[in-house]
Amino acid sequence: MNEGLVADVIVIGAGIIGAACAQALARRGLQVLVLDAGLHGATAAGMGHLLVLDDNPAELALSRYSLQRWRALAPDLPDGCAYRNNGTLWLAANAEEMAVAHDKYLNLQAQGVACELISASALRQREPELREGLEGGLLIHGDGILYAPATANWMLDTPNVRQRRARVRAVDGNRVRLDDGHWLSAEAVVLANGIQANELCPELPIEPKKGHLLITDRYPHTVTHTLVELGYVTSAHNATGPSTACNIQPRPTGQLFIGASRQFGTTDPQVESWMLAKMLKRAAEYMPGLARLNGIRAWTGFRAASPDGLPLVGQHPQRQGLWLAVGHEGLGVTTAPGTADLLVAQLFNETPPLAAPPYLPQRFLGEPAYA
Ligand SMILES: Cc1cc2nc3c(=O)[nH]c(=O)nc-3n(C[C@H](O)[C@H](O)[C@H](O)COP(=O)(O)OP(=O)(O)OC[C@H]3O[C@@H](n4cnc5c(N)ncnc54)[C@H](O)[C@@H]3O)c2cc1C
């Protein structure tokens, strides 16, 4: 480390993305300082579903690679990270959605993702609480779940990573100004502060996408896989207006997470009863017994959405020394290891494990203004 620098790399944000980047950089021998303002970020609010998504080839490449990385990391994760390889079961309500399941199956199989089409009767055998009359489903074997806040803490607890509670008020290339007016410098600064990224870089095209979640009391063995309606792909993930989709996830505690909702154009963190009711009604349409369960807490969180749904990973083209790892929308827990590997490869000028161009910031910010 050069004299006058507080670290080789300063990472802004200790959510799952900042933590994964910090761990990957530290494992390459760099001294990393992580600054976090202690705001309630998306990592603490999300579902922790690790899933391969294939809305487009770049999303599939990053999620598929990241799932491989999570499975490789799994033996090292402490119990508190609550990692389980329980698989995702995509639910088809009708023949049209079963056709979507079939296309998805072919697409994923072609990319080497282990998956299986499930008939209506096999679906009820695997998940007896599902309502009768569903058309079938698609099981993705390698998907899983984890508890993201504990996993981020585990990543930050890596030799060469230091943490400091501080709010960054400005960034200038490889320098940051803190709340108290002090400037800190490093060889590089990584911006990984989720939905607050625009506060430090107003030019970033990131918008908040609000989500509601509910957790139930403990009902062990009610559900085995994470259950997601196939309509999620069209009705919720890509929608611009408010939307809900059935998403039921069994926690290792026996509790169930119930989601998912999406709303643009609001930063109000209040739980909205109309949206919560709509979301729960949708889930109960797939699993009628849910209506008898006791929900113990509902909350909201904000996903940092980019215009094309992909994260921005790489050096800021106009601010040399500032690296971006932002805009992970509803998939940042899944894609944290892939993001970290992409970032590290670019920082070290190495060939990345997957093609970097679809995630480069210049697709929104223009070509680099430096050599
Ligand atoms: C309801 C919901 C459900 C979700 N479900 C899933 C899911 O099932 N699977 C999945 O893969 N993803 C899911 N996500 C998405 C996932 O949670 C996010 O993509 C991911 O957590 C983003 O992590 P992050 O580190 O970028 O941001 P955050 O977790 O928001 O962390 C940003 C950090 O930056 C800090 N910070 C902000 N500004 C400053 C500043 N100026 N100075 C210092 N520190 C600062 C904050 O304190 C915060 O700790 C969900 C999100 C939501 C909201």
Pocket test for ligand 1, best of 331, 334, 339, 359 (most atoms within 8 A of CB): 331
Taken in order of first residue, the domains within the chain and their CATH numbers are 7-45+148-205+308-365 (3.50.50.60), 88-141+207-305 (3.30.9.10)
Q: What is the pLDDT of residues 258-291, one digit of tens each?
A: 999 999 999 999 999 999 999 999 999 999 999 9
d(CA 108, CA 314): 27
Q: How far is the CA of 142 from the centre of ligand 1 (A)?
A: 23
What share of the chain in percent tops pLDDT 90?
94
Residue 336 pLDDT level (bands cut at 50, 70, 90): very high
Q: How far is the CA of 50 from the centre of ligand 1 (A)?
A: 15
What's the rounded mean pLDDT across residues 325-338?
Answer: 98
Residue 241 pLDDT level (bands cut at 50, 70, 90): confident
d(CA 14, CA 156): 8
Question: Ligand 1 atom closest to Cα of 333?
Answer: 11
Q: How far is CA 86 from CA 50, 82, 119, 212, in A?
A: 10, 11, 19, 23
Average pLDDT over the chain reads: 95
Question: What is the structure's pLDDT at 370?
Answer: 80
**Under 8 Å between Cβ of 114 and 140:** yes
Is residue 219 predicted with pLDDT exceeding 60?
A: yes
Question: Ligand 1 atom closest to Cα of 261?
Answer: 1
Q: Is the CB of 33 under 6 A from ligand 1?
A: no
Pocket test for ligand 1, best of 175, 333, 342, 359 (most atoms within 8 A of CB): 333
Question: What is the structure's pLDDT at 231?
Answer: 82
| Phi/psi of residue 109, nearest 5 degrees | -60, -40
Question: What is the structure's pLDDT at 234?
Answer: 56
Q: How far is CA 342 from CA 66, 103, 132, 152, in A?
A: 11, 29, 44, 18
Is residue 236 predicted with pLDDT exceeding 50?
A: no
What's the rounded mean pLDDT across residues 232-259?
Answer: 83
Is residue 235 predicted with pLDDT exceeding 60?
A: no
Question: Ligand 1 atom closest to Cα of 49?
Answer: 8
Q: What is the pLDDT of residues 43-85, one digit of tens each?
A: 999 999 999 999 999 999 999 999 999 999 999 999 999 999 9
Is residue 233 predicted with pLDDT exceeding 70?
A: no
Is residue 209 predicted with pLDDT exceeding 60?
A: yes
Is residue 152 predicted with pLDDT exceeding 80?
A: yes
Residue 238 pLDDT level (bands cut at 50, 70, 90): low
**Under 8 Å between Cβ of 342 and 359:** yes
Choose among 119, 110, 49, 52: nearest CA to 84. 49
Q: Is the CB of 334 under 6 A from ligand 1?
A: yes
pTM for the model stands at 0.97
DSSP H/E element including 279: helix 273-286
